[in-house]
Amino acid sequence: MEDYQIVDLYWARSEYAIRETDQKYGRMLNGISYSLLASREDAEECVNDTYLTAWQRMPEDRPAFLGAYLSKIIRCLSVDRFRASHRQKRGGMGQVLEELTECIPGGESPGEAYENRELSRVINDFLEGLEEEKRRMFVRRYFYSDSIADVAERMKVSQAKVKTTLYRIRGDLKRRLEEERICL
Amino acid sequence: MRAKDQQRATDLLFDAIGQIEDRFVAEAATPYVRAGKGLRLRRSLILALTLSLVLVSSLGLLIAQQVTDKEDHAVEMETGDILNDEATGTVGSLSDRLSALRAETASLRVPREELDLFSGKAQVIWKFSDESGYRVKQVSRSEQTELTRMMTRDPGRSLSTTESADPGELEGIWIALGDGTVISPCLRQAPGNTAYGTLFSYEPELEPSVAFADTLCGIIS
């Protein structure tokens, strides 16, 4: 079933909306959550919470890319759960966060006022300027929290190349944030 | 920067990445096709070139049609004239004709997960409603061009809004151009009927012409 058809089901408050969503995106959503939480039970709960959130937000929302819309919801829910449990596991989200510390711009101390929306704008502009291959690597690693091995397999390159490319992208992002005077 | 502040900053950055535009999220969810050596064209450029080619071809054919006779090439069907009743002038639908080739095309069946719409090679894909797999026939560029030309030149018979084609055993038929673009001979050629990276369900708008069915069945059998 196409995305627009599934969204129509939500808008019509049809009982089949969740079923069709699960059939099309359940596996992907489970994968995203598991990458962050490293727990099957928690991932399943986040998937169910995602469906509930989508049901509550639609109608009102009418996403063009349903997969992306749901991915953002489950990522947010999974991150909240991760932080709530104070887990600091190696691998999964913990390792991704460690890598992102390299992107924190230098300069002013934290506590400076910032606009979350401005930060998102800069990141979107940054991604727009990346070559497709690099952008995909970045999004797979830092949005979807794929492992280096999974990114390499998906992009059909070596793990060494993924690591090198991501390292350079992080450096570029840091410089971009500094140029934009983004304080975190 | 203190560790606590660094963690806070990292969390902010991680959260901001979670709010990137949907198109970037959707792009990264689709399979990545690495361009061949010496040919690094962006996928969007390939799509634009393909659609431009279809448009130019259709315009050229419209002009040529005004000064030349219509002559559709009917490829001789190895299945004979079972569905071509010349005496009564009736011709079986595309669904009927594909159904007649079921045994012959059984070896072309593949499960959905093996479908590759970004292989760089054009394919005809069809599915019967009582089967879980898809039948896939890779076609040459000239065959694909011929099929899309015929779809544009003579799309077939429009199905009225009150009439629905008897789908028979055929659940759907698609032509994948190899770059992710997917169209169907049972739908009018329009941007809204062109999918990307997916085989879509549809309500048929057209019954393809006899000539198209002849050519298609000749290619896949």
DSSP state, residue A41 = H
Tokens of A59: 């109608």
Residue A110 β-bridge partners: A112
Cite the residue boundaries of each domain of chain A with CATH code 1.10.10.10.
93-179
- Give the pLDDT score at B42: 61
| Cβ–Cβ gap B8/A83 under 8 Å | no
Name residues whose C-beta falls within 8 Å of residue A134's C-beta, 6 or more positions apart in sequence. Answer: A165, A169
Cross-chain CB nearest to A139 (options B8, B9, B28) = B28
Per-residue pLDDT of B120-155, as tens digits, reads 888 999 998 888 889 999 998 888 888 888 888 788
Residue B182 CA to residue B172 CA, distance in Å, equals: 12
- Give the pLDDT score at B160: 65
Partners of A76 on chain B (C-beta within 8 Å) are 15, 18
CATH topology of domain A93-179: Arc Repressor Mutant, subunit A (1.10.10)
ipTM score: 0.85
| Cβ–Cβ gap A110/B17 under 8 Å | no
Q: Which CATH architecture has domain A3-85?
A: Orthogonal Bundle (1.10)
Cite the residue boundaries of each domain of chain A with CATH code 1.10.1740.10.
3-85
Mean pLDDT (10-residue bins), chain A, 184 residues = 91 93 94 91 94 91 92 94 68 77 69 64 94 96 94 94 96 91 71
